Structure 1
Amino acid sequence: MAIVDLFCFLLFCHLVLILSAGYGNGHQDCPHSFTCGNLGTFNYPFTKAEKPDCGLIAIHDCDNPHQHRKMIQLEKNGKSIVLTGVAQQNAISILDEDFHKLLQQDPCGTLKNNYSLPSPFSLYSIHIKFNVTLFRCKHSLKMKPPAHYFNHSCPDYDYDIYYDSLPSPNDKEVHSLFSSCSVIQISSKDLTNTNDILSFVSAEMVLQVVLSNDCDQCYNRWGGQCRLDANQEFYCEKAVTVALLLVMVKIYHTRWKKQNPTNQQIRIFLEREGPLQTKRYDYSEIKKVTNSFRNKLGQGGFGSVYKGKLPDGRYLAVKILSELKDNGEDFINEVATISRTSHINIVNLLGFCCEGSKRALVYEFMSNGSLEKFIFEENVVKTDRQLDCQTIYHIAVGVARGLEYLHQGCNTRILHFDIKPHNILLDENFNPKISDFGLAKICTRKESMISIFGARGTAGYIAPEVFSRNFGAVSHKSDVYSYGMMILEMVGRRKNIKTEVNRSSEIYFPDWIYNCLESNQELGLQNIRNESDDKLVRKMTIVGLWCIQTHPSTRPAISKVLEMLGSKVELLQIPPKPFLSSPPTSPVHLSYETL
């Protein structure tokens, strides 16, 4: 070992000892665990309310012997819920008293919608560990349910609640039997009396708390505290002085760059796949082409997008990624996936940057931005432009052609998993291009079904089988569902999920579309000028409704979608009404035990 390396090694060991000695200070003398009355032992991210800086979720009255009920707030300033115990590390049992009262007073009214949890957090997420699927139906069904279906009558609400007692329901049977019903996900307990549905619907539930990758590494590896700054951006508050940090960074900066997991993954990918057909930029080049990030085009959960310009005059869109998760797997995935593609309806990746902690993707510039600016009513008011029917149809066909290429035209099949208006970019002539391949999955052409871990996609566009395998296998048909929902939004001029709408009075978007189709009502497009436009809108509506059929086997492949879009509307059959109504507004509201 060289003298310099030996010195660096010894200095590093010395710093590690210092950090280890200061680990408790990093947690500000916070205990690694604590007891809360007779409920058991709790660990981070839970903390006592008296020490809010020691965790993320505070429990009240842990040390108060006169208060037997211990309360917990799952979100800041949220409602208090009774804590009933700790199931295992990072899993708790709770009792929602409001939900419990509703179950006792008005059980049928309780089953109007899915039971929902607070929205996802930046530092952690919460999942209901056990739940059950119910079907809410009008009194008249198409056929009599088999013996293993049980029901509870709700005459005051003009519907019945049904439950399939078999552990693995027959998908085709469910589809035909409950095609006119809503699907409800609700918390559950042991199914001790299966013929009484309400006996296992429970206000007591087990919640699993999962730290984000950043937060988990911050707390468990570095002994720091997970924090959000004024812009709600994550940072790790560590127990180490700035001087020590600067010394460590200076000594190991070069080594870290070489050993960074993302750099290693890129090296492995290049060795396996050969040189990429795209340029690798230095970060200094990225700063130069963007004029030090002067012109910001937009921002999302991934980071920010800036306009750039090459010396030859070509414009660029440069996506600067925020702090990476999963060792940068989404970044590698996007580079690896899109570098395999070449199609008029797929955005062109011109290069990428991977230098230290800096990550950037360099795309061709699309002057009209994303599709969402031109189709949603609230955005159209800002842009003062609504697309005509011919342009919307042109975009629908272009996106379908891009998907057909991904599913069938590449050497390997690529499933996108995040088709939505935000990820469809438009050039100066409103030609569409599919972008953002961070969630894409590469599989062989022969694979009809694929295996994925966890739900991927955006709420409102995720196919039912992606968040629950009870609805079928995940395949290229999952992209078809997302495409269909997007097409319906294009003709309906509204988002399929409106989180600001009161859930009890909300009309599920596909129901509204279907009702408009049946009654020949206008869907909101104001640029319908003639009978030809009207037929285009009706055609896209029918195709969209076919694409969002609940069971994947009843959806058309994307090649069939193109065939339908090219045929006469009079030849298209009206699809069955999709029966999956009132979906959760986020996958976090669902049990991931079924994935």
Structure 2
Amino acid sequence: MDNLLKKHLPFVCLLVVALAHHGRGLTDCQETRCGRHGPKIRYPFRLKDRQPATCGYPGFDLTCNEMQQTVLELPNSVKLYIQKIDYTSQSIVTVDPNVCLARQARNFNLSTSPFRYQGLSTFGVGYVFFNCSAVERNLFNQVPCLSTPGFYDVYAFNSLISIDNLPLSSCTKMYTSLLIPDEVVNPPFNTLHLNWTEPGCGACEAQGQRCRSTTNSSIGYECYVPPKGNQGRRKIMIAVIVVGVFLLLVGVGVSFYMYHSNRIEMENQAKIEKFLADYKAMKPARYSYADLKRITNNFKDKLGEGAYGTVFKGRLSREIHVAVKILTSSTVAKNGDEFINEVGTMGRIHHVNVIRLVGYCADGFRRALVYEFLPNESLEKFIFSATDGGNGSHIHSLGWERLHEIALGIAKGIEYLHQGCDQRILHFDIKPHNILLDHDFNPKIADFGLAKLCAKDQSAITMTAARGTMGYIAPEVFSRNFGNVSYKSDVYSFGMLLLEMVGGRKNNEEADVNGGLRQVYFPEWVYEHLDKGEEFRIRIKEEGDAKIVRKLTIAGLWCIQWYPADRPSMTAVLQMLEGDGEGLSMPPNPFSSAGDGKMEGVAKGNRIALELEAISEE
């Protein structure tokens, strides 16, 4: 406690000095304006050249130009004139001095500004600008202020819309502007609405009061009833001192509580903020918690719930839907590593078979991830469907051709993670539940919370503990007796996924053989039947289905070899799946070397988990 008081002693002295001068500051911070008809300027805004810093909130500095217009300067030297300030709704109306917002669009970046674009449709939207000599005008937003009459016209279209089928043969791409609102490319082309969330003075204004700074740091604020005329300066001084002393006592008490109760969480928060600052140049969009409430219509449409959080459906615009995963308080309370891992890893990935991370939220203790919305949910929903009660054969609602295409897509996604990025990305949790399907049933790999990064020339990585889902974890993740942990661990998980697609059941389920007289581990049962040339009792509806089943099965068995060196790379697996399957040879039996007695004593989660030497923590 003594150390805490010593720590806050300088702060106490500064606060006393600030209170002594606060009364004089009241007159310095009176409401003003640039011109006779200009908007009224008061807290959180201030005129930078006329008023002290304590008269405003950081980031709300304004200036007056020679024409007595109120000027707001945003990051990257973007200057706008303020026409109106609504202190109750906390919004402003700005115009471009040159009547062409699109010309400044390339420099728009509000990530370090307190202001945000107003309106639901502006979150995460970007536009691509083209100059065209001839184009069907109805397909684009024409931007006349960028056009050159008689030579070319400039058009803009939403960057999330595919350009494959658009008539762009007579067009040249100019540039892409990310995260800009629709009104930039729509008439009148010079009006931009912005709003702010902090400081939250709108509540004061709604009650007929005003807002002001409480300290010399400008970050504290309070509501107050403005005095009429010159009355009560002494009363104001007394009130300020009383309130200041009270806030000081409350601040010391809160600091004491936070120091003892939330030290770990604050360290995690600082770690996340440092990471996000370092990652700023590459990061997806950052949303506040208030943004997420608007996007999800106050979390109205719940898609699902798991151990790590709840997923809600949201909408960025009329055409763009997202899935918002709100992390549970228990997950947030542990540490920030998985959150940093997910955001950091996903920001490096751009592939058609990997889910896109649209944005994230790190608003105080609230954390969330915003993904593209995939309407057909996970692969697990389709491959573990019902069986017909007649002969036990599995009913594949997607058909074997579609399953083959899905397997190819997943393999391409994993190969990209292993070979297509600057650093190799090991997923460590490949399973049907983490394979999501879009509206055309194209697969996308999701959930990178357990992923690790390593150099492409790195043959092995260090593991401090096993990670993944039982039934899909490679043997070497449990024990170094099988070799080093590497990208071959993902190959093993993919092999188990292939066998589940073939059999329509979990890999750790047992197969009923000979009328229930004996039950065996399902992947082992698959190998025995294929090795003997027997049928799987899987329904074959179309000509060629049997070849697909055999190809998927052999590829899966190659992938689940015990030792990493015996497994193919994902590039080799792709060649197996893309070929006709005629030349595929049977892999060695991965079950014979374990011994019958040992295999029968292993738990369902992983048949080799028992009798293995555990990896020691490093």
- Once the two structures are overlaid, the 10-residue window that deviates more, 544-553 or 282-291, is 282-291
Equivalent residue number for residue 584 of structure 1: 603
What CA distance in whole angstroms lies between the structure 2 residues aligned with 1:327 and 1:522?
50
Contact 2:498 2:552 in 1 (8 A): yes
Contact 1:484 1:546 in 2 (8 A): yes
Alpha carbons of structure 1 residues 524 and 328: separation in structure 2 relative to 1, 3 Å = farther
Alpha carbons of structure 1 residues 276 and 567: separation in structure 2 relative to 1, 3 Å = same
Equivalent residue number for residue 279 of structure 1: 285
What CA distance in whole angstroms lies between the structure 2 residues aligned with 1:479 and 1:518?
25
Letter of the 1:491 counterpart:
V
Given the alignment of the two structures, is residue 523 of structure 1 paired with residue 536 of structure 2, yes or no? yes
One of 447, 472, 488 as aligned partner of 2:499 = 488
Deviations 1:355-392 (A, max 9, x none): 222111000000000000000134999xx971100110
Contact 1:296 1:306 in 2 (8 A): yes
Letter of the 1:338 counterpart:
M
Query: Shift of the alpha carbon at 1:297?
Result: 1.2
Scaled by the length of structure 1, the TM-score of the pair is 0.55
Deviations 1:408-441 (A, max 9, x none): 0000000000000000000011000000000000
What CA distance in whole angstroms lies between the structure 2 residues aligned with 1:283 and 1:559?
42
Query: Shift of the alpha carbon at 1:259?
Result: 7.2
Query: Shift of the alpha carbon at 1:519?
Result: 3.7
Query: Shift of the alpha carbon at 1:263?
Result: 2.8
Structure 2 unaligned regions, length at least 5: 1-6, 14-249, 390-394
Contact 2:431 2:493 in 1 (8 A): yes
Structure 1 unaligned regions, length at least 5: 8-243
Equivalent residue number for residue 327 of structure 1: 335
One of 358, 371, 375 as aligned partner of 2:379 = 371
Given the alignment of the two structures, is residue 557 of structure 1 paired with residue 569 of structure 2, yes or no? yes
Deviations 1:191-230 (A, max 9, x none): xxxxxxxxxxxxxxxxxxxxxxxxxxxxxxxxxxxxxxxx
Given the alignment of the two structures, is residue 534 of structure 1 paired with residue 546 of structure 2, yes or no? yes
Letter of the 2:459 counterpart:
S
One of 341, 344, 353 as aligned partner of 2:349 = 341
Contact 1:510 1:578 in 2 (8 A): no
Contact 2:511 2:522 in 1 (8 A): no
Contact 2:527 2:589 in 1 (8 A): yes
One of 311, 316, 334 as aligned partner of 2:317 = 311
**Equivalences for residues 490-509 of structure 1 within 5 A:** 490-498=501-509, 506-509=519-522
Letter of the 1:569 counterpart:
G
Scaled by the length of structure 2, the TM-score of the pair is 0.53
**Equivalences for residues 161-560 of structure 1 within 5 A:** 248=254, 252=258, 260-322=266-328, 323-324=330-331, 326-378=334-386, 386-498=397-509, 506-523=519-536, 525-526=538-539, 528-560=540-572
Query: Shift of the alpha carbon at 1:270?
Result: 3.5
* SS of alignment partner, residue 294 of structure 1: coil
Contact 2:374 2:439 in 1 (8 A): yes
Query: Shift of the alpha carbon at 1:306?
Result: 1.1
What CA distance in whole angstroms lies between the structure 1 residues aligned with 2:524 and 2:314?
43
Contact 1:480 1:557 in 2 (8 A): yes
What CA distance in whole angstroms lies between the structure 2 residues aligned with 1:403 and 1:593?
26
Contact 1:418 1:482 in 2 (8 A): yes
Letter of the 1:396 counterpart:
A
Alpha carbons of structure 1 residues 273 and 311: separation in structure 2 relative to 1, 3 Å = closer
* SS of alignment partner, residue 335 of structure 2: helix
Alpha carbons of structure 1 residues 259 and 584: separation in structure 2 relative to 1, 3 Å = closer
Q: Which has the higher contact order (CA 8 A, sep 6+)?
A: 1
- Once the two structures are overlaid, the 10-residue window that deviates more, 298-307 or 363-372, is 298-307
- Once the two structures are overlaid, the 10-residue window that deviates more, 506-515 or 476-485, is 506-515
* SS of alignment partner, residue 460 of structure 2: coil
**Percent identity between the aligned chains?**
47
RMSD: 3.6
What CA distance in whole angstroms lies between the structure 2 residues aligned with 1:331 and 1:352?
10
* SS of alignment partner, residue 576 of structure 1: coil
- Structure with bigger gyration radius: 2
Letter of the 1:570 counterpart:
E
